[in-house]
Amino acid sequence: MEGLFPTGERPFFLLFLLTLDMTASRPLRVLIVSTRYLGDCLLAASLVNPIRERYPDAEVDVLTFHRNCGILEGVPGIRRVIGVEERPKKWRQFLDMSAMWNTYDWAIITQQSTRTILYGYFAARRQVVYASANDHRGWWKQKLVTHKVNPYPGHWLDQAEALLEPVLGGRYHIDPSCPDAELPEAFRIRDPYVVFQVCSRYEDKEWSTAGWRALIEKLNARGLCAVIVGGGSAAELERIGRVTEGFAEANVCVAAGKLSFGQTARLIRGARAFVGVDTATSHVAGATGVPVVALFGPTNVTVWGPSPKEGRQGGYASDKPRLVQGNVTILRHPDYLGCHACDRHRCPKNVPDTLGRCMQDLAWQDVWAELEKNL
């Protein structure tokens, strides 16, 4: 669908001298704009692969917040990662945007926020974004964009195939991208191990301490080590400390806060399996191809479940406690499949400050039974 400027070229009268078309003598240039969380950014980077498949010489950059740049470490096909401030002053934001004026042929805008659309408008001659029929106050943002599309149903990556159509001239399947970097010698583990991601950005997505401890005991009895990855914040390390308390260092290795995302992906690739909660690292794990057991509670699993490395067949079903696609298995509590009643990441069905039963009551026996199949 065409926007306010049906030719696909946007007049900008104060900077019109910069709009000279030099595209005939250079490769296609595309900017992917993603200014949300780590997982969103990694999924958005997966659009690079189909672009490079269709145009092998294309130059594809990704614009995201500074705090997200690390998850794109070593992702193949990206020419440059552009980091921007999360809450810049208005003059700083305008300078950043105007410095990119018409640098790109296309901007693929993966969110509908004002900032993402303005970045895309300034940066490229043509833009594509999801259509928004109900945003009456934001109508003017849609008018800035040359192409609006409706997302396909299913997983986030299935939906995003619609964003690629105007750029590539057809529908292309999107497999997930994965970061990569060399591991430090201290984490080149030679004994068999399983990687755990214990913490999430939000506590309501975390599993019970007792459940994690039961898994570690079972792994140790089988002669396997548990390696726990994640961030290095004080809160996260305190949470991990409760999980690992009393276990010998030979049986539990805490890598949280010590590895980059690329290194974490390399560590996961060498594991027998991965078990994690709903967080960016579970998306990384799915993209590595190792067996993944992902524990989900309140999140829409159809859209946000970790994609397998290959072979994804649409979104995950929303009415089953066990979901399998490729190398990824998602487990959910059977009593809360249709709940989604969380308010500001707290469960309204419990007393204040109590985490949701959909995750806390998920049986460790079910998780172990799934994990044991991959050992």
Q: In sequence order, what DSSP letters do the residues of 270-324 get, joined into one string?
A: TSSEEEEESSHHHHHHHHHTS-EEEE-SSS-HHHHSPPPSS---SSPPSS-SEEE
- Structure tokens belonging to residue 49: 């692969």
Asked if residue 298 lies in contact with residue 339, where contact means CB atoms within 8 angstroms, the answer is yes
Please give the pLDDT value at position 353.
Answer: 58
- If pLDDT is split at 50, 70 and 90, which confidence band does 13 have? very low
Please give the pLDDT value at position 8.
Answer: 47
Residue 195 has pLDDT above 70, yes or no: yes
Please give the pLDDT value at position 350.
Answer: 66
Asked if residue 205 lies in contact with residue 298, where contact means CB atoms within 8 angstroms, the answer is yes
Buried b (16+ CB within 10 A) or exposed e, 153-172: ebbbbbbbbbbbebbbeeeb
- Verify that 200 and 164 share a domain, yes or no: no
- Verify that 234 and 363 share a domain, yes or no: yes
State the CATH number of the domain containing residue 295: 3.40.50.2000
Strands 273-277 and 322-325: unpaired
- Verify that 50 and 131 share a domain, yes or no: yes
User: How many whole angstroms from its chain centre is CA 163?
Assistant: 17
- Verify that 163 and 307 share a domain, yes or no: no
Please give the pLDDT value at position 352.
Answer: 57
- Structure tokens belonging to residue 293: 């057991």
Domain that holds residue 130: 13-168
State the DSSP H helix or E strand holding residue 59, giving kind and residue range, or none if neither: strand 59-65
Average pLDDT value over all residues in the chain? 89
Residue 56 lies in a domain: yes
- Structure tokens belonging to residue 136: 């009456």
Average pLDDT of the residues in 34-63: 96
Residue 335 has pLDDT above 80, yes or no: yes
Cβ burial of 93 (10 Å; 0-12, 13-18, 19+) is: middle
pLDDT tens, 271-323? 999 999 999 999 999 999 999 999 998 888 999 999 999 988 878 988 899 99
- Verify that 104 and 201 share a domain, yes or no: no
Phi, psi of 149 (to 5 degrees): -135, 160
Asked if residue 358 lies in contact with residue 206, where contact means CB atoms within 8 angstroms, the answer is no
Of the residues 137, 168, 199, which one is the last residue of a structural domain?
A: 168
- Verify that 320 and 203 share a domain, yes or no: yes
Q: Please name the residues in contact with 363: beta carbons below 8 A apart, sequence gap of 6 or more.
A: 211
State the DSSP H helix or E strand holding residue 160, giving kind and residue range, or none if neither: helix 156-168
Average pLDDT of the residues in 166-170: 96
* Residue (of 157, 164, 145) closest to 1 by Cα position: 145
Average pLDDT of the residues in 161-170: 97
- Verify that 320 and 223 share a domain, yes or no: yes
- Verify that 248 and 345 share a domain, yes or no: yes
Residue 197 has pLDDT above 90, yes or no: yes
Q: Please name the residues in contact with 311: beta carbons below 8 A apart, sequence gap of 6 or more.
A: 325, 326
Please give the pLDDT value at position 2.
Answer: 40
- 365/363 Cα distance (integer angstroms): 5
- Verify that 282 and 207 share a domain, yes or no: yes
Interior angle at CA 154, CA 167 and CA 340, nearest 5: 130
Strands 322-325 and 328-331: antiparallel
pTM beyond 0.75: the answer is: yes
Residue 351 has pLDDT above 70, yes or no: no
Of the residues 114, 141, 168, which one is the last residue of a structural domain?
A: 168
- Verify that 252 and 313 share a domain, yes or no: yes
Please give the pLDDT value at position 24.
Answer: 56
Strands 225-229 and 193-197: parallel
Please give the pLDDT value at position 93.
Answer: 85
Residue 8 lies in a domain: no
Residue 164 has pLDDT above 60, yes or no: yes
Residue 213 lies in a domain: yes
| Other beta carbons less than 10 A from residue 211's beta carbon | 24
For 230-261, give the secondary structure using H, E and C. CCCCHHHHHHHHHHHCCCCCCCEEECCCCCCH
- 198/143 Cα distance (integer angstroms): 43
- Verify that 163 and 190 share a domain, yes or no: no
- Verify that 199 and 144 share a domain, yes or no: no
Please give the pLDDT value at position 140.
Answer: 82
Please give the pLDDT value at position 169.
Answer: 95
Domains: count for the chain? 2
